[in-house]
Amino acid sequence: MSAIDTFWEFFAVAVGLLVVLGGLAATLLRGRGGATRELPREQPGRPAPGAPADERDTDADRGDRDDRGSSVDTLPAPTDDTTLEETLPPVTVPEVERPEAPQTRLQRLRARLARSNTALGQGLLALLSRGDLDEQAWEDVEDTLLTADLGVEATTQLVDSLRTRVRVHGNADEATVRGWLREELVALVDPAMDRTVVSSRVDGRPAVILVVGVNGTGKTTTVGKLARVLVAEDKDVVLGAADTFRAAAADQLQTWGARVGVPTVRSDREGADPAAVAFDAVKGAAELEADVVIIDTAGRLHNKVGLMDELGKVKRVIEKQSPIDEVLLVLDATTGQNGLRQAEVFSEVVGITGIVLTKLDGTAKGGIVVAVQRKLGVPVKLIGLGEGPDDLAPFDPEGFVDAIID
């Protein structure tokens, strides 16, 4: 036998021994409960090894994945002593607030109004009760009324009425003068005006309220507070964030709504078409069978023609889907007579149906209530007297007059 033949016989024997030994080892491992090794499995979101380079994700694509390559959080597996529910993280449910009832807030706001409008009430009482009113005294009465933003026409009417009473009845004590003043002021504020805010379904559809005004009057805050008023009256409300130009306006409105469990329709894109957002809000309210939808709009100066035209477009687009039941103009009471020109322009563009007077607690110019009603021929429907979430209430003419002369 040659050396080559010997080598191949030896090699065959060696291979055979290795096969036998490998089989024995596998048998022993299975007997001890061992597991054979598996090939690495393809992970979610990752290509299999050897996939083309353009199928592999980059570091940016993996952004928030954990070290296991998953883009979602995983929960620990329950042990024998726990249930799946016990392994779930606690869920925090935001607490929905119950707004203060309008009747309650009226009592609180009346006291605050009495403290802030002493010029119109107490100032007049002091002048009229001193007796022997000469021309200088009546001029002081007129000045007090004009300072309180009552307006020239209303001031003249009130002074003439008071002069007549004094001529007929002579000088009177403070209680009598207070009664005269109350009667005349209530007549000027005009309690016969309808101050109801339409907030119930109309002809099987949600009522639509459009809120407008110049920059800085507090429109978005007013919309949020109005939602609280209506929720306190058990109304189903939807908010529309059509102020798409002011940074974080939609976030602000959504926060107001979330506090009382009210949904907000909004666009996630800053600068989106406000008319489209308003249209979607009205449509969404109809689908939800809500009682009322309130549309917040961007503040705009009354002398900017382009912006006022845009507001007119918002109104027209809404009306393609639903009539608008209320157009509320938010006015800052501290602007006094300057706010009247604003009111005129807004009324020409969108047809104002009611006024919301904010910041009445920051001024002694309560006469603006009379002036704006006379100018527009529409009522003050809501007043704001503070920073609190429930510092907005329906306007009560007699309660307003009582507050400023008590």
Residues contributing to the annotated binding site for GTP: 213-220, 296-300, 358-361
Residue among 106, 328, 95, 330 at smallest CA distance from 229: 106
**Residue whose structure tokens are 């490998």:** 22
Please report, in range form, the residues annotated as the binding site. 213-220, 296-300, 358-361
DSSP 388: S
Residue among 328, 325, 315, 297 at smallest CA distance from 208: 325
Contact 339, 331 (CB under 8 A): yes
Q: Rounded to the nearest 5 degrees, what angle is found at the Cα of 194, between the Cα atoms of 401 and 235?
A: 105
Torsions phi, psi of 208, nearest 5? Answer: -115, 125
Instruction: Provide the CA 321 distance to its chain's centre, in angstroms.
Output: 22
CA distances 56 to 41, 52, 60, 402, Å, are 16, 7, 11, 76
Torsions phi, psi of 176, nearest 5? Answer: -65, -45
Angle at which helices 135-147 and 152-169 cross, to 10°:
140
CA distances 255 to 38, 182, 237, 258, Å, are 52, 41, 14, 5
Contact 131, 171 (CB under 8 A): yes
Specify the DSSP element, H or E, that contains 8.
Answer: helix 3-31
CA distances 52 to 69, 239, 305, Å, are 18, 50, 58
Angle at which helices 102-116 and 397-405 cross, to 10°:
40
Residue 234 φ/ψ region, left for φ over 0, alpha for ψ in the -120 to 50 degree band, beta for the rest: left
Specify the DSSP element, H or E, that contains 251.
Answer: helix 249-259
DSSP 200: S
Contact 265, 238 (CB under 8 A): yes
- Cα torsion 272, 273, 278, 283 to 10°: value is -90
Contact 187, 357 (CB under 8 A): no
